[in-house]
Amino acid sequence: MAVAGVKEHIRMAFAPTSSGSALSRRTTTDYRAMSIATTLFFMWGFLTCMNDILIPHLKAIFSLSIAESALIQTAFFGSYFLFAIPAGKLVEYRGYKYTMVTGLAVAAVGALLFIPAARMASYPLFLGALVILAAGITALQVSANPFVASVGPEETASSRLNLSQAFNSFGTFIAPWVGRYTILAGVTTVAAATLAAYTPDQVAQYRAHQASTVTVPYLVIAGILVLLAVLLYMVRLDSKEHVTVDMRPIAGFGASIWNKAWLWLGAIGIFVYVGAEVSIGSFLINYFALPNIGNLTEAAAASYVSYYWGGAMVGRFIGSAILQKVRTGTLLGIFSLVAFVLVLLSVFTSGHVAMYTILCVGLFNSIMFPSIFTLGLAGLGELTSKGSSLMVQAIVGGAVIPYVYGRFADHVGYQKAFLIPAACYIYIAIYGFATLRRRIHTDPLAGLQIDPV
């Protein structure tokens, strides 16, 4: 995503610490460290969007309700809420590099746990594996953004961050394709009536066989994560690169932040945005499989999910250019209203119209996270880091709203349940336009955060 106003935040983050070193003195970029860190951005985008493949796959295997299948996102994004503060503590005490190595190791353990989960055909174990995997990714989120900015000159930090974030978007784009040709390609669907006639042992064997399609992909993922951890551990860093800033969500809250209404409204915006984006992406495969929408197989539908995330990737470049001419609140309001209309069109139409309108929502999602983040932090001054912490914590919307969507969809179906993300976009539009009446005396700061998906 585009990073607006990052220069000042970097200056604040790189101010000399008690050790007396300052990152702004760097004159060259450590390309070894940069290349590894950029790969990390790709990996967490990739792993996040693999959940969109797991949801329909595990739903079919374990005969889950829609709400039960949404627990995959609840487990994953709930880890942001649970582990961001411990990860920030680790950054504070051991530095960026150690935190990233630890995060990679933890994520690798989570990926490996997919193997016993598949062999035991245990949905709770899959959820546990996702919690651990996401805990590792959370550590990467907390540490990798400032780390990328720290491995080269301050004046090119924004360029490095944008490059890394582009790879994050690329990871979200190709994950559905990889999932289609690995996990979903080996699926053999059994009719519900046939499955009901199976004995308990036959059901267990069937589920274990179907779940086994995840073992090789996640074994490979675990190997890549371990390799990256080893490579990063072997990179020798200048002492200046161990300077850290407190990036913990909810770090150092004091009374001063509680009366910042625009910040809290922005945090709600982040909550509903992430929830809406994840809710749509999570259930597109099942949605496109409906006879009145696409009547596609899961494998065929998976390729269309890439267009949803690919639209967000393209939109970030287009939106970045538009924001040079248009106020952030205006563009946020317009994009949110367009997303709202597109969702409504998908809800009240069918066939290709319903398919392509919901896919186009990804394009208009593109600028929402950075725009809400920027507007929420505008004018906070010395409270910016605390405000940033709150905004990151609001990512937990990705754990809550998809589950709410699932509960609703269990009663009214996938299509009508999209009214929930539609309502989220209305709030974002109101927030965007409302900020146009604000009067602030400082430029908005976007910080070092990126869209978690």
297 contacts: CB under 8 Å, gap ≥ 6: 289
1-246 and 249-443 share one fold: yes
In our burial notation (b when 16+ CB lie closer than 10 A, e otherwise), range 172-207 reads: bbbbbebbbebbbeebeeeeeeeeeeeeeeebeebb
HEC secondary structure over the chain: CCCCCHHHHHHHHCCCCCCCCCHHHCCCCCHHHHHHHHHHHHHHHHHHHHHHHHHHHHHHHHCCCHHHHHHHHHHHHHHHHHHHHHHHHHHHHHCHHHHHHHHHHHHHHHHHCHHHHHHCCCHHHHHHHHHHHHHHHHHHHHHHHHHHHHCCCHHHHHHHHHHHHHHHHHHHHHHHHHHHHCCCCCCCCCCHHHHHCCCHHHHHHHHHHHHHHHHHHHHHHHHHHHHHHHHHHHCCCCHHHHCCCCCCCCCCCCHHHCCCHHHHHHHHHHHHHHHHHHHHHHHHHHHHCCCCCCCCCHHHHHHHHHHHHHHHHHHHHHHHHHCCCCCHHHHHHHHHHHHHHHHHHHHCCCHHHHHHHHHHHHHHHCCHHHHHHHHHHCCCHHHHHHHHHHHHHHHHHHHHHHHHHHHHHHHHCHHHHCHHHHHHHHHHHHHHHHHHHCCCCCCCCCCCCCCCC
Query: What does pTM read for this prediction?
Result: 0.83
Cβ(98)–Cβ(181) below 8 Å: no
Give the Å distances, CA to CA, from 292 to 190, 283, 300, 354, 413.
21, 15, 16, 9, 12
Cβ(402)–Cβ(74) below 8 Å: yes
Cβ(346)–Cβ(358) below 8 Å: yes
What does the domain layout of the chain look like in residue ranges? Answer: 1-246, 249-443
Cβ(134)–Cβ(77) below 8 Å: yes
Token pair belonging to 156: 């090119």
Predicted pLDDT of residue 306 = 94
Per-residue pLDDT of the chain (453 residues; tens, 9 = 90+): 333 333 333 333 333 333 334 444 566 777 887 888 888 889 989 999 999 999 999 998 998 999 999 999 999 999 988 888 888 788 878 888 888 999 999 999 999 999 999 999 999 999 999 999 999 998 888 787 777 767 777 666 656 766 777 788 899 999 999 999 999 886 766 666 677 778 888 888 888 889 999 999 999 999 999 999 998 888 776 544 444 444 444 444 444 667 888 999 999 999 999 999 999 999 999 999 999 999 999 889 999 999 999 998 898 888 888 988 999 999 999 999 999 999 999 999 999 999 999 999 999 998 898 889 889 888 877 777 677 778 878 999 999 999 999 999 999 999 999 999 999 999 999 999 999 987 654 444 444 444 566
DSSP assignment string, 210-255: HHGGGHHHHHHHHHHHHHHHHHHHHS---GGGG------TTTT--G
Superfamily of domain 249-443: MFS general substrate transporter like domains (1.20.1250.20)
Please state which CATH number belongs to domain 1-246.
1.20.1250.20
Predicted pLDDT of residue 13 = 36
From 297, 112, 115, select the one nearest 212 (Cα to Cα): 115
Predicted pLDDT of residue 372 = 92
State CA 5 to chain mean position distance: 21
Predicted pLDDT of residue 191 = 65
Predicted pLDDT of residue 66 = 96
Summarised one tens digit per residue, pLDDT across range 40-95 is 889 989 999 999 999 999 998 998 999 999 999 999 999 988 888 888 788 878 88
Cα atoms in the 13 Å half-sphere on the side-chain side of 86: 11
Cβ(400)–Cβ(244) below 8 Å: no
Q: 3-state DSSP call for residue 393? A: helix
Summarised one tens digit per residue, pLDDT across range 236-283 is 765 444 444 444 444 444 446 678 889 999 999 999 999 999 999 999
